[in-house]
Amino acid sequence: VFGQAEKQRISFEFYSESNPENFQIDVCDAKGKRLIQLIHDHENQLHANNGEKIQLISETLSKGTWNKIIIDYNSSSATYNISVNGQTVVQKNKMTAKGNPERIDFRTGEYRLDRKISKFKSENKQTPGYDEPNADVPKEEAVFYIRSFSTQTVN
């Protein structure tokens, strides 16, 4: 999906219908290391990382409408810009590390495993649900849509 250029643009449209928990968007390198993190929270606010720190970048995204998200990044300077619905909301934020983005993850909730991929949260594989307590407890449905995803080289 991603080209091998120093400067690229990722764009997509995002629609939130039901948002009881965080919706996370991670731009990662080839090995899955997170370089850029966006969080759409349950109050329809958008947050992004600046280095290791997460900050509020947009007061609200319109629920029930399509929102255009554009991420322009420069892998050599490890910086990125974000615009939402044509308005620039982030300029020259720092990526968490230098690297070439090669994939994007869209998910609800936190990443399930600790940094050591073989270590589960509860550390007890004999207990049902050891990797995620209360995984069988019903939750309110989260409904999100993504369309018009594209990447392109930027000069």
What confidence tier does 8 reach under pLDDT thresholds 50, 70, 90?
Answer: very high
The token pair that represents 55 in the structure block: 């900050």
Q: What is the DSSP string of 50-111?
A: ETTEEEEEES-PPTTSEEEEEEEEETTTTEEEEEETTEEEEEEEEPSS-----EEEEEES--
137/78: higher pLDDT: 78
Q: Is the pLDDT of residue 89 over 90?
A: yes
Residues belonging to the chain: 155
Decide: 41 and 116 in contact? Cβ < 8 Å.
no
CA distance 73 to 151: 11
**What are 23's strand-pairing partners?**
40, 108
Q: Does the pLDDT at position 106 exceed 80?
A: yes
Q: Strand, helix or coil at 21?
A: coil
Q: Which residue has better confidence, 135 or 45?
A: 45
pLDDT above 70 covers a percentage of the chain that reads 85
For residue 88, the model assigns a pLDDT of: 95
Please tell me the distance from the alpha carbon of residue 134 to that of residue 35, in angstroms, as a whole number. Answer: 30
Cβ-in-10-Å burial (0-12, 13-18, 19+) of 86 comes to exposed
Residues whose CB is less than 8 angstroms from the CB of residue 63 and which lie 6 or more positions away in sequence, other chains included = 16, 17, 19, 44
CB atoms near residue 37 (< 10 Å): 18
Q: What global pTM score does this model have?
A: 0.84
pLDDT at site 116: 47
Give the pLDDT band (50/70/90) at residue 108.
confident
**Predicted local confidence at residue 59, as pLDDT:** 77
Using CB atoms within 10 Å of the CB of residue 101, give its burial: 0 to 12 exposed, 13 to 18 middle, 19+ buried: buried
Q: How much is the average pLDDT of 130-138?
A: 73
Q: For residue range 25-69, list pLDDT tens digits in order.
A: 999 998 888 999 999 999 999 999 999 999 999 878 888 999 999
Residue 37 contacts residue 24 (beta carbons within 8 Å) = yes
Quote the pLDDT of residue 2. Answer: 84
